[in-house]
Amino acid sequence: MKCAAIALAFGAVLAAPAVEAAAVEAAHPREAALSEARKKWDELFPKIDVNKDSKLSREEVTAYMQSGHHLLTKAGKAEAIKDIKAKTIGEFGKLDRNGDGFLDEAEMAASDEKAKRNLRRRGSDDKKIDIDAYIVLKNPQFADDEATYVHFLALDLMDSWDKDTDGSLTFTEYDAMKEKERDNLSKFTKSENDEGMITISFGGPGEKEIAAIKAKDDSDFKDSDANSDEALDTSEFQGYLKSKGEAKWKAEVEEFFVFSDNNKDGVLEIEEVHHNADFFAVSKVLQHREALHSEL
């Protein structure tokens, strides 16, 4: 099993002449990147700290991470859509053959299958689509509410894994989906020596851990199979996805605190965030706008 390690050194850099500062940066080539990560957390910290007590609780971090998957605020949606719009505008322009800023049904026929499929599912074939609406068709995580997003996520995953196209997932089909997810698993380990050198290692779980994860996956299937017919219909699968998302948030938040709560008081201070900026740079918390779909 391959395992890559990133070793990062920490230490307070006191005010020094420019020459000394350059020497420090040369000695620690990652320091500039770490400094940038800390700046990002200086911006994120007050957004997560809802009660403004200068500490982050598990509840606050959980709420923030949930808001980044598909429970986006209007401001969050606008920010994310603006970024994607810049990347999508060329594609949209090629589809918009008459240049009126909208896609009609004929123009949408040249789009990709995901956008066309979601357009049909929403029953809006006859409506003209502007670029913002087109972005939402391609990114269901920007739907107006959790239920809508989970609904379209379930349909998308059914398209991929319901091999006999009977509208439900048998255990074999479900297990194939989960096996792919298990194959993609990775974990973090963190160690720190007496000189303050922190090493973060990335590697897959062992056989016993994989067996335990599979047992939990199998149990999830049984729990979600409300009518005990050994298959998950769309409604049951939606319930599974919702619970799966909640479980992922809980696990990610717990991982976040295990790595960063140095004094084990159950909350995070800004100093702890700065001290662990190397881990946060690869943490899912910094990728909080990633859709749940991309994790399954």
CA 145 to mean position of chain CA atoms: 17
Q: How far is 122 from 108, CA to CA, in rounded Å?
A: 14
CA distance 98 to 4: 51
pLDDT number for residue 285:
53
Query: Which span out of 18-32, 76-90, 232-246 was modeled with the highest average pLDDT?
Result: 232-246
Please, what's the b/e burial string for 181-217 (b: 16 or more CB within 10 A of its CB; e: otherwise)? ebeeeeeeeeeeeeeeebebeeeeeeeeeeeeeeeeb
DSSP-derived pairing of the beta strands 187-192 and 197-203? antiparallel
CA pair distance 71, 83, nearest whole angstrom: 18
In terms of Cα–Cα distance, which of 238, 63, 78 is closest to 147? 238
pTM over 0.85: no
Mean predicted confidence (pLDDT) in 10-19? 38
Residue with the larger pLDDT of the pair 157 and 219:
219
Structural contact between residues 56 and 267, judged by C-beta atoms closer than 8 angstroms: yes
Residue ranges per structural domain of the chain: 4-70+143-295
148-195 residue pLDDT tens: 777 878 888 898 899 999 999 999 999 999 998 888 776 666 666 676
pLDDT attached to residue 16: 42
What pLDDT band is residue 69 in, cutting at 50, 70 and 90?
Answer: very low
Report CA-CA distances (Å) from 273 to 78, 157, 265, 287: 27, 36, 14, 16
Give the least confident one: 39-48, 166-175, 185-194, 265-274. Answer: 185-194
Burial class (CB in 10 A: 0-12, 13-18, 19+), 261: middle
Beta bridge partners of 188: 202
Averaged pLDDT for residues 246-258: 77
Which amino acid is residue 284, in one-letter code? Answer: K
Average pLDDT over the chain, rounded to an integer: 76
